[in-house]
Amino acid sequence: MTDDCRSPDEDSGLANPARRRVLAGFLTAYTASLVPWALAQPVARPEHGAFMALSAILVGRRSLDSGLAARLYDALTTTYPHFAADAKALLAQVNQQHIDPAQLQQVLDASHSPLAPLPRRIMRAWCLGLVGEGEATHCIAYENALDAVMVAEVLKPPTYAYGQYGSWANPPVAKGANES
């Protein structure tokens, strides 16, 4: 892993004593059960709470980069004026209906919910670093977008050098057993 591609675990702000508010305060018993590892995740600003809670549920990560979270939140709320309210409404729906994250999109699509676009917007922001539609799409993150972070011990984001000449001829060394 290079300095150019740090994982959110390394940049989560967990060590920052100024960030006292944690994600647990925004979750009910049900949603807390979905992401028990994330309960101590710091939340930089109170208005981020629903967004961070939904983010933790959707991306399934143990921690989220709080600096990137702030930038994504700003971009999402700028691009979609109702984003903050929609995020609160969706979190409330997940809490009340105990919706499994694996079924969330299908539930929203099937009910033609006006909140149906929201999970994909959040996922696209975290996983691809992109916010916006069509020509108005903006790239907020690249090296630290989660798609890069999730494979960072095996792959470098394109344009970053893999290593010395020929090093790619060696077998990849991936963590975990689910890759083989």
In this complex, which beta carbon is closest to another protein, that of residue 43 or of residue 131?
A: 131
Nearest approach, Cβ of 137 to another protein (angstroms)? 4
Minimum CB distance to another protein smaller for 6 or for 19: 6
Quick one: 9 or 16, whose CB is closer to another protein?
Answer: 9
CA dihedral 28, 30, 35, 39 (to 10 degrees): 30
Q: Which helix (H) or strand (E) holds 15?
A: none
Q: How far is the CB of 102 from another protein (least distance, A)?
A: 5
Shortest Å, Cβ 17 to another protein:
29
Other C-beta atoms lying within 10 Å of the C-beta of residue 82: 12
- Give the whole-angstrom CA distance, residue 144 versus residue 149: 6
Contact residues: another protein, CB under 8 A? 34, 57-61, 100-102, 104-106, 109, 119-120, 123-124, 127-128, 130, 132, 134-135, 137-139, 142-143, 147-148, 150-151, 154-172, 174, 176, 178-180
Residue 169 Cβ vs another protein, minimum distance, rounded to whole Å: 5
- Closest CB to another protein among residues 43, 125: 125
Residues contacting residue 80 through CB under 8 Å, at least 6 positions apart: 86, 121
Question: Is the distance from CB of 63 to CB of 38 less than 8 angstroms?
Answer: yes
Q: Shortest distance, CB of residue 78 to another protein, whole angstroms?
A: 15
> Which residue, 46 or 172, has its beta carbon nearer to another protein?
172
151: helix, coil or strand? coil
- DSSP percent split of the chain into helix, strand, coil, nearest 5: 55, 5, 45
